[in-house]
Every structure is written in C-alpha cells, then in structure tokens.
Structure 1
Amino acid sequence: MTELMLKYFRDKQQKVESENIYDTQCPYCSMQCKMQLIEQRIVSRKKQKTIGKDNPTSQGRLCVKGMNAHQHALHQDRLKQPMRRIGDEFEPISWEEAYQLITEQFVNIQREDGKDALSVYGSASITNEEAYLLGKFARVALETKHIDYNGRLCMASAATAANLTFGIDRGFTNTLQEIPDTRCIILAGTNIAECQPTIMPYFEKAKENGAYIIAIDPRETRTTELADLHIKNIPGSDIAIANGILKILIDLDLIDHDFIAERTEDFTEVKKYIETINLDDVVKTTGVSLDSLYQTALVFSREPSGMIFTARGIEQQINGTETVRSFLNLLLATGKIGKEASGYGAITGQGNGQGAREHGQKADQLPGYRSIENVADRQYIANVWGIEEQQLPGKGVSAYEMFEKVIAGEITSMFVVCSNPIVSNPNANLIKKALKQLRFLVVSDLFLSETAKLADLVLPATSYLEDEGTVTNVEGRVMLREASYPIQGEAKHDWEILCDIAHQLGKGDYFDFSHAEEIFEELRIATKGGKADYSGITYEKLRQEQGVLWPCPSPDSTGTARLFEKNFAHKNGKAQMAVVPYQSIKNKPRLSKEYPLYLTTGRVMSHYLTGEQTRKSPSLAARDIEAFLEIHPHTAEKYGIEADSLVRVTSAKGWIIVRSRISKAIRKDTVFVPFHWTEKQNVNQLVSDELDPYCRMPGFKMSVVRLSPAN
C-alpha cells in the first residue's frame, strides 16, 4: 500500500472517529475505584468502555460492576425531566412547575400538620457535599427534625460500636496497605470476594506472606475459600463466639495486661462476666467446635500482629452494636490496635457509606460527627450556618422509624433522595403502606424505581459520570470524584436541586452555591474541630495526593494513616471495653415448629443494593437474572424442594417465591436469599421490624422461615 493510500485511510478514519476520555470513579461499593470512561464515536454510533485508573486504594483494579457501570448511567430509561403523577400515570413538567408544586405542598403541609410533618430520607450513595447539604436543607430550609438515611440499614451498628468503644468511627483504623503485613486476620460476617472484590488482593497478599486467616460465616463463600479456618456458625451466634474466644484468652493468660491497664477501661467487669461462661454452652449455642474456638484464640493472641474485619453478617442484627463490641473486646484484650498491621476494619457497604454518615444525614448528628444533642456542637454549627442555636431542630428518629411515624400520622410528606426504601427496608409491606399514605411524596433519582413509582413528583438526578464531588472510601480516605460527562436531558445535581428548592422557600441566602467545591469549602469549616475533621482538605490537595485520610485538621497536615497510636478518642484517652451477654436481646428470632429454618441475606457480585442500577446494565443483569434460595441438599430433601424449582419462603411478616439453588456450602439449618430483587422476590418482606436498641439497625441477617414447593 502506497504512502498516499495510507494517508487517505488515516484522513478518512479521523473524519468518522473521535474519542473522549472521562475521569471518574465507580459508583458502587466502598472501595471507590478510580476509573475512566472511554467513549468512541464511529460514524453515528457511540461505543463505550471503562478501564481502571491507578490510585492508592484499588491500584487500577476494577470488578465486573465497575467495568459495566456506564451501562446504567447511559441507559435509555434514565429520568431526563421532572415527572408529575396524574392519576396512575406520569406526565413531564418543567422544573419551574416542579419547584412551584413542591413549594405549595411543603408550605401547606407544614402550616396544617406542623414543621416536623416534613421528612427527608437520604442516601449513602451521594457525595459528601450532597450529604452535608441535605442535613442543612432539612434543618434550615425545612426546619424539620425528621431526617435520616439508608446507611442506617447498613453501617449503623459498626459505627455506633466504634464510637462507644474508641470514641470515634472511621471505617478502618489502619490503611489498606497494612493488611498484607499482618499475621492473623479474622473476617467476621464479611464476604469481601463478592461485595468488595478489588480489596481481595490485599488479603491474598497477606496469605502469601504467611498470615493465618479465620472466616466466620454460616455459608461457604469465595471469601471463606481463602481462610485457613472457616467457623461455620449458627446465624446470630456471633457474640457467643467472641465471648468464648475471650474466655480462652483469659483462662490461658494470653491477654496483654499492660495494654489493658494503660489504655482500656472496665476490663475487670468484662473479666468477671466472662468467667461465668461455660464453653460447652458456647459450643452448643454456636454450632462451632471447641477446637475451632481454641485455634482462633491461640493463633490470634500469639501472633505479633492481627486485624479484625466485620461486615453486615454480624452487624445487621438486632444486637449488632453489641456483636461488634464483643469482637472489639478481643482486639483490646490482646493489645492489637494502634500498632502497625494491627487494628479494626468495618467493611463499609455503600459507595459513600463512610462520608455520608459523618456530615449530618443521621437523625442525631451534625456535620463532622458532631452530636445534635450537644449544646456546644449545636452552637458551633448554628454559627457556621448563620442561624440561632435554638432554631436548630432536635433529634429525630431512625430511617425505619420515620415510616412508623407516617403510619401514625405524624409525618405526612417525604423527600427521598437517591434511595429505594420500599425494597431496602425490613417489613417492606409496611413501607409501601406508609408511602401510599403520604400526602406528598417527592423522589429524586436516576430511574423510576419502585419507590419513585409511588411518588407524586419525581425529579431527575445526575449520575456518577456527571456529578462531581468528594466521597470517603472504606478506609476513611476522602477522594475527589471528577465528573465531566454531559448531563443527560434536564437532569440536575442533587445539591443543585436542594439549593433551588431552598430559594423557592425563601431560604436561598443559606444555599448560595454554584459549584460542588463551594459546598466543600463550607463543609471544611463545619467539620473543623469535630471528630471527622476535614478542615485541612481541599480539592487541590485531593488531586495532588489522590485522596487524604481524615482527620486532617490543618492545611499542612497530610491526614492520619493510623488511628489510636497513643490515645483513643474518648476524653480520658482510653478505650471502653464492654460486658456483652449473649442473651442481650431476648426477642431474637428462634426456631420453632412453624418456622424451623434460619434465613440470612446478602449480596451477589453482579448486583448492588436494591438492584435498580445494576439491573439496568445488560452485562450484569445477565449474570443473575433472578433471586434464588441457597439450600443444603439434606434440607431440600426434607422439605420436598427440587433443584431449580420455585419455592415459597414464609416468615411471620410475609412470603416470597424464589428459585432453589441446592448447595452443600450452607448449613443444614439455614437458607440464604440475596436482597437485590423486588416485589415477590424481595426478601426484605420477610424481615422483622425489630431494631437494635443502640443504633436502630434492623436484623436483616437473622430471620426464621418455613419452606414449601410453589406449585
């Protein structure tokens, strides 16, 4: 081919092809992997692909969800203009009309039903800027105490336990980079291989380096395959396991006396209780062998370093806070915290599960992890916001309890942001009833979700590709998500929607922002001196450092890689150990003739939360097209369940129908159903509405059910 011909083809290709590259990061799990969307235009057709980008957390890795995230963001079903309900249908309206409707309804409802009749239901998938602004919006623009968020269903017990024990809650006390150097790892109720796949290489490297890994889970999973010891316990028996291990540590004098004396409180009371425990009772209660308990105690105590990681398996229980505290007792008793390669990690679920719980979305919280019931904290935030302290509303109620308030007639309107509570909450039938009962329901989302379908007004929000802002990942690293993709249709950023509504309500002076970075600058001031101090972080620093671990209290600070090296965050500098009786909750679900099997729930790799986004991705939806019931072959035979057959699963709260998947990977007394599906496959319809007394977490991971073929 001549040079002239080559030039011809090159020129022709340049005319019909173009390529744009958009920096962003994954919208799904708490690893928040950095990535790039590469979009090529060939003639009149666009072709997209996503690739990983190097960063300190995931080092360029992506899982199958991240590689295909753009498919939902660019899906044809994206909401692109406001939609108003007319009868059983939705019709498009302008933003001006939408804002006018919101203003009229909010003003009328508060005049007739009181200020607290309005409520706000937030999200752990929005940016720090939007989480911060949502809390301010509820308390300043709406002047209501009723705000909470879907992170209450995810991280609340671990956060509460860490605050009670250490005085502060940052997901990891150490960095991810320390995991490969630790000598013993306990994974309690976490299936990281499917829920946070790009974190797995850290644990695999630890294994290569000789670490002994212990996994506690009623099921065999891709994560337990990595373990040297798999403790396959009865669901909900985790406190008994931790207490049994602690008894062995104390009986064999394998504890760190100096650390306990110098850096903890209340060990004497804990020891006194632990001495009353009978290990034979622990074995009976947990279904775990005595050898496994001894092996765990001996290895964890004798190795020079160790880490404990918890996740929803032990946290999503109605005594989840105390369950986590029982495992933190093990860390403190052995002195394995505040040191290199020794510490605690709560494996955050949602993308911004850490940051979203720090800046004011929770009913009892103000920005920077300040308390809404603390006078000094209230005064500080009131000064930042330019209002009087007494103008700040008081403490509201948790996410699920807001729906109970709806049923009781105390809440008559709700603004839902980037969440799908009809699927994600327990006792889903009550949630649907409450949403239908509202006088006015507004939903801001990407799609017409199950919740949005019940709304009076739906507002189109921007996706991760379009919405710039910061998020805080699993290890407490604040990261800047660049987002420059063209906005789809008339969609708006959630922070922009909040500012617009505030202006309509006459509170625009408090919400005069034109860019996410401006909101972050106010957030920096609001968090200064708080537990979660972001005041030394700027967008420029985040770009330079590729993320900063908080607390970062000054401009010259580089952040805090390891917590508690010298002191814990309580005023006296000591950690608080806790007496945690196994029977701390008397109304835990128990097996009976009517409900003879335990039910536990969880994720699968190809889906995320309620599945509203991942089911819009053809590459992900095709991997798991429906929910399923994982059941042991012995149990299946006992109840007449055939392989790949439809099964009715019934609890005291309702029933669902799912397809059986027979597997020896699960205990004979336990079945498992993932929670990413809706309607008659929504496993949360079976979950009780009992809540953890400390953090108001529902008990998703332990219900009791019966099975029958769905003929």
Structure 2
Amino acid sequence: MTETPVTGAEPTRPATRTHCPYCSLQCGMTVSRIGRAGITTGAWDEFPVNEGALCRKGWTAGELRGHRERLTTPLVRDRATGELRSADWDEALDLVAARIRAIQDDHGRDAVAVFGGGGLTNEKAYQLGKFARVALGTSQIDYNGRWCMSSAASAGNQALGIDRGLPFPLADIEQTDLVILVGSNLAETMPPAARHLDRLRERGGKVVVIDPRLTSTAERADLFLQPVPGTDLALALGVLHLLDARGLVDEEYVAVRTTGFEEARRGAAAWWPERVERVTGVGTDELRALVDLLAGASAAMVLTARGAEQHAQGTATVLGWINVALALGLPGAPYSGYGCLTGQGNGQGGREHGQKADQLPGYRMIDDPAARAHVAGVWGVDADSLPGKGRSAYELLDALGTEDGPKALLVHGSNIVVSAPRASHVTERLDSLDLLVVCDLVMSETAAIADVVLPVTEWAEETGTMTNLEGRVILRRRAVSPPAGVRSDLEVVAGLAERLDAPIGFSTDPEEIFAELGRASAGGKADYSGITYDRIEAEAGVFWPCPAAPEGLAAHPGTPRMFADSFAHADGRARFVVPEFVGAAEEPDATYPVHLTTGRVLGQYQSGAQTRRIRSLPDEGAFVELHPMLAHRIGAHDGEPVVVRTRRGEMKAPARVVTTIRPDTVFVPFHWVGANRLTNDALDPSSRMPEFKVCAAEVTR
C-alpha cells in the first residue's frame, strides 16, 4: 500500500495517514513505524472531524502492536486435555470446515451461526454477510452493533425513512443555537467532539444535558436535567405537551413536511408538567426552562445516544424526541435537526452491508424480493438460494446449543462474554456449543473458551473503509505489515469459503471488495456506488448516499446534509409516530430497591479487550458509583467493597461515593467482567435492543 509522507514524521520512516481504531468519530491520525515492530500515532491536523485532536485512547492506540499478549498462531482445543494448543493455519481451517460440514449435515444449514462486530471494516462486514448467506447458507447472522444504535436506527427508519446517525456533519453543532444531549456523555466517550460544544458556547449557544449522572459532559451544560433512568420518553412527551400548549409548534412545517401530528398531539396531551415530574423526577420548573430555551432558539439540535436508546423502550424514546424535533421544524433546517451519536467505530457501516439478520448490502431488507434479486445478481448466485431473516443478536445467543438453535458459532470482532446482557447465561450458551470459533488479536474472555482461536490483523495492519457517525466513509490505510502467522478476517473468510466449496470466490483484496460492495449497494438507501478509495483520500471522506453518476455526467458530490427538501419516505414526508410510555421492564421493589445503570469511562473502550492491555491507559477495574445518601443507608464507605445484585447475578467491586449521581441509582462501567452479568435481557419489540441501561438492583456492603 502507498504510504503518504506527513510533515513532522520521523525523517527515515514516512508516516501513514489513517484513522483511530476506536469510537465512531474515526479521528484522523498518522501512524509511524518505530524500531522493528513498534508504531506510534501522531496528529493529522487537516482531517476535519478532529483537526489533529485525539483522546488518550487514540494517542496510545499503537501500544498493542508487539504486545506480549498478541496472538500470532492459531490455537485448537485438544479434546484429550481440554487445553488450547498451537496449530498451523491449514490444520485450523481444515478442522473448522470439517466440523461445520458435519454439523450442517446433521442439523441443517442454520445450525451454524456468525456473530460480527461494529468495529469491523465495511469490507469485512460485507464479506461476512456474503459468507454467511452464500458459503454457509445460514440465516443466522447478526452483530454486536445491534446493541449500539439499533433503537435509533429503527426510529429513524420509521419517522424519517432512513437510518443515518447524524444527517449533518458534526461540526454543524458549532453553528446551532441549542444542543440537547439525551443520554450522551460526549466528553468521555468521544472527547475530541466535545470541542464543538465549547465552541458553540463561545458563540453564545446553549447546551442541555439529560442524564441520571452529572458527567463531564453535563458539567459543560447550561441546563442539566437528571431524570430517573428509563424515563426519557416521558420527558420528551412533556416537552411536546408544553410546545403545543404554548403555541410553539411550527404549524406550516408540520402541515407541509410531515404526517401524523394530530395523533402525536393527542398522545402528548396527557403529559402535563406535574405528571412528568412524578414519573421522571425532573421538576416542572426545569421542564419549562428547557422549553424556554427551545422557544428562544432559531436553530436547535436534539441528539440521542446509548443512555436513551439501550432500553426495552429505546425505539419509542427516540421517536418521542424525533417528534419534538419535527414539531419545531428542525430536521432539514440549517444547523438543526435530530441525530444519533453512534458509539462503535463502524456501528453505522457495519449494519448497512449485511451483518444484520434482516439486511442485505445497501441497507436493503432481506425479505424484499427486488433486494434479493439485485444482490444475488452482483454475487452471481440464484436469489432463491439466499436464506431469509434470522435471529437478532441476543436472540441468536440465547438460542445457541438449544434443540432448534445453532450448534456452532463463528465470532469476528466481538467479546461476547463481557459485552452481552445477562452475560452469565450467554456464557453458558456458548459453552454448550459443539464448535466455537473466535477471531481476535488477543486472548479475550470469549476467545479463552473457544474451540478454535484464529489470530487476525489489527487496525494498523490492514486497509479498509469505515463509516463514521456523520455517514462519512473514510479510509484506513495499512501502515505496517502484520506479525508472521497473523491473517486478516478477509483471508479467514476466503479460506473457509474455499474449503466449504462455496459456489463463488471470495476476494481478499479490500479495494476490490469495496468496489463490489458499491455495486451491491447501488440503488439502496445506503448507496456507496459512487465512492472509491481515490475519492475518499482526495475529499477527506465521502458522505453517503453517493450513487454512481451516469456516464458522461459529473460525479455525485455525496450527501453531507439530508432532508433539506424531502424525507426518505415515498411521499417525501416525515412521520410523527405516537410512542406510549410504559417505563422500564423491571422497576425497583422491596428486594431490589435501586436502579442500576451502566456505561463507559474515559480510559477504556467497549469490552476492554484491547484497552485493558495498554499500559498507558488507567485500568482501575470495575467500581460501583453511588450517592452518599445511599452509601450511608447501607453503611458503605468510599473505596471499600460493595456487592450489587440483580435477578440475574451479582458482582463485587469498590464503592465510589459521589454526589453526581441520583440517590436512587447506582452506576457500574461495563469494560470489565461483571457489569453485564447484572443487566436485563428484556428486548425492545422493534429494534431487539436489550435493556442495558436500567434494571432493579440491591446494593450491600
């Protein structure tokens, strides 16, 4: 791969412009080689998303290269001893293929499942979906991105006709008058983005943060609302009620650009401020202060994140806040609108091109005959040979090893043992499998229980595209060669497909795969057909949709901003969808009297499989954050261990006594084993998102 010299790099080793391996900002950075095996990261000042800024995770991302725990040879579990032993690649892939054949011969095609990840490149996500449906012939594929922004995706599709996290560039935040962050701790989860909030406030704009905890982001807020976990929808209904009561609805916009407002108006009519206060704990004066800010803003944005979305009512909650934005005429207006702050690095692109159980490339639905015909034509297979819709992520894991569930699972880019809700139960299901294959960089908690572990490349050792939270398709360039013995996920997929006698070949060249992805996505909602590697590099990323231009016409410019003229429904109008508040799936009671919520900390990322191994990042371990009033009631002291119990399990960790959390709530970060043993596996009926963000708990010394 071509390496681009960058000013300030080591004089003898040119740096490569690439992107951070972590969150959905996909910050631009440079990577330089040091010594025989090491790499170091530097600033790429010209990349517009982060302008050279990186968080501590980005600055230290190179430290995993050459780490003593890096996997560099395939491992196979010895059936006699139960231990993992080294194997060569042919032995490992031959074994996996033979056992897949045997399992499918005995139990059918759907007896083998695939579980992907929101950190995989678009090329890997595309090939994984193609591999599942063509080489394996299974409908059983989903990915951990189902647990990221699927509720926002479901709501966006219902209300706006399309799912793109932000329908405008992130930098537009600086130019609006008011930003409402619902369930987002932007300053800790994606720190370089927080500068947009600071610049907004320097211009005189306002920031509202809605969160059960007074976070680093909330400390930047002009107005901070601290609702009971799981009540964000009631708050949105209360806001819509007051907007209507005060005559603040943009009636012309609603009449011309939307449908369904009268039903939404009637649904919000019962949510007067006093009722909202009783349900949410947010005072009537605070609710009115929020509406006052909306009334005084000529431009405003409503942005949701996991705190609002990871609920059994996550889709309904997002719909409630989209209704607020539509009532004010925000979507499509300059520096205004609704958006979702995607979490995982490729949470957006990862689901657009085939990793989800119900989707084909281009955000086509797998049960649509026209979509099946188009994609099958690109792949060179019969449309009737493609399987139908499979199980969603948690439902897939819950079915593992059961009589009619998969007997084998191939895992790419996910540490399920740590990240799944009701994790102890999911681990039992993984243990019940006839075959568990895990592709990873290190011995994650999931790899440790696998039958076969395949060592794969890390971000700096491979080329591929990602789609960031803005819908900007960016290019990670390979900066260094992988260690001897390590292969890419693309090579794993191709090797298995060949051994399984797949009817078509599987390329391992990422640029060739991306070109095919473009053809497969052409005409779909997420149309990448006009995007090439050269365009991405020349334009610092290209926003989808970007269809290929007819011959002789200028290239499509991409779509940085959506909805200016119409929405993605057939009639061009947005939909008000009436959400009904029912609350959390599990409310506190005498046995479990407090709310438990989970989230991230600044120094770690996702399941921590990579970041916990980087020395420069603080690995404080799990902790339990609780209010002094609750600590006093149970006799707990700061730094001393407490036990948190739910109906699904328990964990023990040091107490962190703070005044920044609600007295009826405890917080546990999910980067370490433990937190997700407690979380609730109740699912959103639309998105199938588990209720990570709230359940009933007991805390004792």
Range class of TM-score, shorter chain: over 0.9
SS of equivalent residue, structure 1 residue 618: coil
Residue 67 of structure 1: how far off its partner (Å): 0.4
Give the structure 2 partner of residue 570 of structure 1. 569
Give the structure 1 partner of residue 6 of structure 2. none
Structure 1 residues 184-193 or 550-559, which shifts more?
Answer: 550-559
SS of equivalent residue, structure 1 residue 119: strand
Structure 1 residues 611-620 or 65-74, which shifts more?
Answer: 65-74
SS of equivalent residue, structure 1 residue 426: coil
Of 109, 120, 129, which residue of structure 2 is paired with 1:135? 129
* CA distance, structure 2, for counterparts of residue 523 and residue 39 of structure 1: 31
Do the aligned partners of 2:680 and 2:695 also contact (CA within 8 Å) in 1? Answer: yes
SS of equivalent residue, structure 1 residue 637: helix
Residue 46 of structure 1: how far off its partner (Å): 6.7
Give the structure 2 partner of residue 3 of structure 1. none
Residue 489 of structure 1: how far off its partner (Å): 2.2
* CA distance, structure 1, for counterparts of residue 556 and residue 28 of structure 2: 24
Residue 541 of structure 1: how far off its partner (Å): 0.5
Do the aligned partners of 1:367 and 1:523 also contact (CA within 8 Å) in 2? Answer: yes
* CA distance, structure 2, for counterparts of residue 47 and residue 350 of structure 1: 25
Do the aligned partners of 2:37 and 2:66 also contact (CA within 8 Å) in 1? Answer: no
* CA distance, structure 1, for counterparts of residue 604 and residue 171 of structure 2: 27
Of 505, 509, 524, which residue of structure 2 is paired with 1:510? 505
Give the structure 1 partner of residue 636 of structure 2. 641
Residue 88 of structure 1: how far off its partner (Å): 2.9
Do the aligned partners of 1:385 and 1:510 also contact (CA within 8 Å) in 2? Answer: no
* CA distance, structure 1, for counterparts of residue 436 and residue 249 of structure 2: 55
- Structure 1 residues 198 and 242, CA, compared in 2 at 3 Å: closer, same or farther? same
Give the structure 2 partner of residue 69 of structure 1. 61
Residue 19 of structure 1: how far off its partner (Å): 3.7
Letter in 2 for 1:616: R
- Structure 1 residues 47 and 426, CA, compared in 2 at 3 Å: closer, same or farther? closer
Give the structure 2 partner of residue 51 of structure 1. 42
Do the aligned partners of 1:61 and 1:198 also contact (CA within 8 Å) in 2? Answer: yes
Give the structure 2 partner of residue 447 of structure 1. 442
The alignment status of 1:180 with 2:177, answered yes or no, reads no
Residue 18 of structure 1: how far off its partner (Å): 5.2
Residue 508 of structure 1: how far off its partner (Å): 6.2
Letter in 2 for 1:624: D
Do the aligned partners of 2:178 and 2:206 also contact (CA within 8 Å) in 1? Answer: yes
Give the structure 2 partner of residue 368 of structure 1. 362
Letter in 2 for 1:322: A
Do the aligned partners of 1:17 and 1:40 also contact (CA within 8 Å) in 2? Answer: no
SS of equivalent residue, structure 2 residue 237: helix
Residue 357 of structure 1: how far off its partner (Å): 1.1
Do the aligned partners of 2:16 and 2:31 also contact (CA within 8 Å) in 1? Answer: yes
Of 594, 608, 612, which residue of structure 1 is paired with 2:609? 612
Residue 298 of structure 1: how far off its partner (Å): 2.1
Letter in 2 for 1:57: V
The alignment status of 1:625 with 2:620, answered yes or no, reads yes
Of 286, 300, 324, which residue of structure 2 is paired with 1:292? 286
Do the aligned partners of 1:174 and 1:344 also contact (CA within 8 Å) in 2? Answer: no
5+ residue gaps, structure 1:
1-15
Do the aligned partners of 1:160 and 1:694 also contact (CA within 8 Å) in 2? Answer: yes
The alignment status of 1:697 with 2:700, answered yes or no, reads no
5+ residue gaps, structure 2:
1-9, 550-554
Do the aligned partners of 2:209 and 2:223 also contact (CA within 8 Å) in 1? Answer: yes
Give the structure 2 partner of residue 674 of structure 1. 669
Letter in 1 for 2:639: D
Do the aligned partners of 1:33 and 1:52 also contact (CA within 8 Å) in 2? Answer: no
SS of equivalent residue, structure 1 residue 397: coil
Letter in 1 for 2:391: V
Residue 49 of structure 1: how far off its partner (Å): 2.9
Letter in 2 for 1:77: E
Residue 506 of structure 1: how far off its partner (Å): 1.0
Residue 20 of structure 1: how far off its partner (Å): 5.0
Matches within 5 A, 1:128-527: 128-409=122-403, 410-507=405-502, 509-511=504-506, 513-527=507-521
SS of equivalent residue, structure 1 residue 619: coil
Letter in 2 for 1:480: L
- Structure 1 residues 642 and 514, CA, compared in 2 at 3 Å: closer, same or farther? closer
Deviations 1:39-61 (A, max 9, x none): 333xxx77643212130211111
SS of equivalent residue, structure 1 residue 326: helix
Do the aligned partners of 1:23 and 1:483 also contact (CA within 8 Å) in 2? Answer: no
Give the structure 2 partner of residue 123 of structure 1. 117
Letter in 2 for 1:699: E
Letter in 2 for 1:563: M
SS of equivalent residue, structure 1 residue 634: helix
SS of equivalent residue, structure 1 residue 612: coil
Give the structure 2 partner of residue 12 of structure 1. none
* CA distance, structure 1, for counterparts of residue 109 and residue 193 of structure 2: 44
Residue 17 of structure 1: how far off its partner (Å): 10
Of 80, 84, 90, which residue of structure 2 is paired with 1:90? 84
Residue 177 of structure 1: how far off its partner (Å): 2.2
Residue 687 of structure 1: how far off its partner (Å): 0.9
SS of equivalent residue, structure 2 residue 347: coil
Give the structure 2 partner of residue 9 of structure 1. none
Letter in 2 for 1:169: D
Stretches (4+) displaced over 6 A: none
* CA distance, structure 1, for counterparts of residue 615 and residue 17 of structure 2: 23
Do the aligned partners of 1:255 and 1:301 also contact (CA within 8 Å) in 2? Answer: no
Residue 434 of structure 1: how far off its partner (Å): 0.7
Give the structure 2 partner of residue 543 of structure 1. 537
Do the aligned partners of 1:18 and 1:40 also contact (CA within 8 Å) in 2? Answer: no
* CA distance, structure 2, for counterparts of residue 421 and residue 538 of structure 1: 33
The alignment status of 1:34 with 2:32, answered yes or no, reads no
The alignment status of 1:659 with 2:654, answered yes or no, reads yes
Letter in 2 for 1:188: V
SS of equivalent residue, structure 2 residue 494: helix
CA-atom RMSD in angstroms: 1.4
The alignment status of 1:594 with 2:594, answered yes or no, reads no
Give the structure 2 partner of residue 579 of structure 1. 578
Residue 510 of structure 1: how far off its partner (Å): 3.2
* CA distance, structure 1, for counterparts of residue 491 and residue 298 of structure 2: 51
The alignment status of 1:650 with 2:641, answered yes or no, reads no
Residue 698 of structure 1: how far off its partner (Å): 0.6
Deviations 1:634-689 (A, max 9, x none): 110001111100111000000000111110000100110100001xxx21100111
Letter in 1 for 2:150: A
SS of equivalent residue, structure 2 residue 643: strand
